[in-house]
């Protein structure tokens, strides 16, 4: 690189010459700059993630030694992502693929991985990292799952990133994987993760203080996206707008939810941004309750650009809603 740099510096004064610039050195300069950029991009590990939450944590740890991009966007339902040809192109060039696992992406990701033809990221190869194996997983079924139970995730609830402790574990697992792939950068990744950890710990103190007055509050949620989040921040999920996971609302179940909310004085209905608001709104109307569109993922709205901002956003929404519905 230093030889390249020396040659580049000697190219510098060209622009100051009054006469027309000699074409060949200018061209050489352009080619050099271009090849330096390519060289630098090639140095970086190309990380692709299924969701923006994993991309955000990976970028905290990987810094400028990786490029990272998510396939699904945070405003999409991660159970159902419409496959596009551009996803295949991304996967084809990936060094590392990060997935949530526990069958969250089962409806769309496995065929993309196979069709990418990229041997590095095939399941069980070193470039495939399922983060669920490092996290605390809730709602692991104890009996056999049948279709009659709805779309129950048979390996446990995959929405586990919504507890900051699991975010911390995801970061550590990514740090270990990146260090394994780039041992020369392991100190850099360790330092970045330590910094992330520190900021996460400080943020958790803030979130705990904000939520303290509302610990023990009961809520209704649309889908079972929030067990980790609610357990961590002291809320109790009493029922769901969906009669069964992945099954749209039915009039009889909606009536049950309304009765439960009245009986137990529950005021908040937490809804992910990709669900129809008609049923939640009618429940709120019947009970004097309130619908809160809570974000399950980074990128759910434009300003939520990283993992810490996701919790900032959700917790601010919640404390305002709780304060209004005493
Ligand atoms: Zn789910």
pLDDT tens over the chain, length 326 residues = 333 333 333 333 333 444 455 566 666 656 555 555 555 556 899 999 999 999 999 999 999 999 999 999 999 999 999 999 999 999 999 999 999 999 999 999 999 999 999 999 999 999 999 999 999 999 998 888 787 887 778 899 999 999 999 999 999 999 999 999 999 999 999 999 999 999 999 999 999 999 999 999 999 999 999 999 999 999 999 999 999 999 999 999 999 999 999 999 999 999 999 999 999 999 999 999 999 999 999 999 999 999 999 999 999 999 999 999 97
Instruction: Output the pLDDT for position 30.
Output: 61
Nearest in space to 111 (alpha carbons), one of 85, 76, 150, 93: 85
Tokens of 207: 């979130």
224 Cα–ligand 1 center, Å: 6
9 Cα–ligand 1 center, Å: 56
What is the DSSP secondary structure assignment for residue 157, as one 8-state letter?
Answer: -
Nearest in space to 1 (alpha carbons), one of 45, 26, 24, 35: 35
Q: What is the C-alpha to C-alpha distance for residues 110 and 118, in angstroms, rounded to an integer?
A: 13
115 Cα–ligand 1 center, Å: 25
78 Cα–ligand 1 center, Å: 8
Torsion of CA 146, 150, 154, 158, to 10 degrees: 180
Q: What is the C-alpha to C-alpha distance for residues 283 and 318, in angstroms, rounded to an integer?
A: 18
Q: What is the C-alpha to C-alpha distance for residues 180 and 177, in angstroms, rounded to an integer?
A: 5
CB atoms within 10 A of CB 212: 11
207 Cα–ligand 1 center, Å: 24
151 Cα–ligand 1 center, Å: 8
Instruction: Output the pLDDT for position 17.
Output: 42
192 Cα–ligand 1 center, Å: 31
């Amino acid at each position: 690189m230093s030889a390249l740099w020396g040659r580049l510096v000697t190219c510098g004064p060209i622009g100051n010459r009054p006469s027309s610039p000699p074409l060949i050195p200018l061209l050489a300069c352009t080619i050099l700059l271009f090849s330096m950029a390519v060289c630098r991009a090639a140095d970086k590990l190309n990380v692709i993630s299924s969701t923006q939450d994993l991309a955000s944590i990976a970028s905290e740890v990987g810094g400028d030694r990786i490029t990272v991009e998510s396939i699904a966007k945070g405003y999409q339902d991660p159970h159902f992502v419409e496959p596009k040809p551009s996803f295949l192109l991304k996967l084809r060039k990936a060094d590392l693929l990060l997935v949530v696992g526990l069958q969250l992406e089962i409806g769309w990701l496995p065929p993309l991985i196979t069709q990418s033809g990229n041997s590095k990221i095939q399941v069980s190869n070193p470039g495939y990292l399922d983060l669920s194996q490092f996290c605390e997983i809730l709602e692991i079924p104890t009996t056999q799952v049948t279709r009659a139970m709805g779309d129950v995730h048979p390996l446990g609830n995959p929405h586990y990133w919504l507890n900051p402790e699991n975010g911390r574990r995801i970061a550590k697992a990514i740090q270990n994987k990146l260090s394994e792939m780039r041992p020369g950068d392991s100190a850099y990744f360790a330092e970045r993760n330590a910094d992330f950890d520190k900021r996460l710990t400080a943020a958790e103190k803030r979130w705990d203080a904000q939520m303290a007055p509302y610990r023990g509050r009961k809520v209704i949620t649309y889908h079972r996206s929030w067990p980790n989040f609610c357990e961590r921040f002291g809320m109790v999920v009493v029922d769901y707008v969906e009669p069964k996971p992945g099954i749209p609302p039915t009039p009889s179940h909606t009536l049950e939810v309304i009765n439960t909310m009245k009986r137990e004085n529950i005021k908040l209905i937490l809804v992910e941004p990709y669900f129809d608001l008609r049923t939640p709104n009618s429940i709120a109307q019947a009970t004097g309750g309130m619908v809160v569109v809570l974000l399950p993922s980074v990128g759910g709205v434009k300003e939520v650009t990283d993992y810490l901002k996701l919790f900032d956003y959700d917790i601010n929404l919640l404390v305002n809603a709780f304060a209004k519905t005493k």
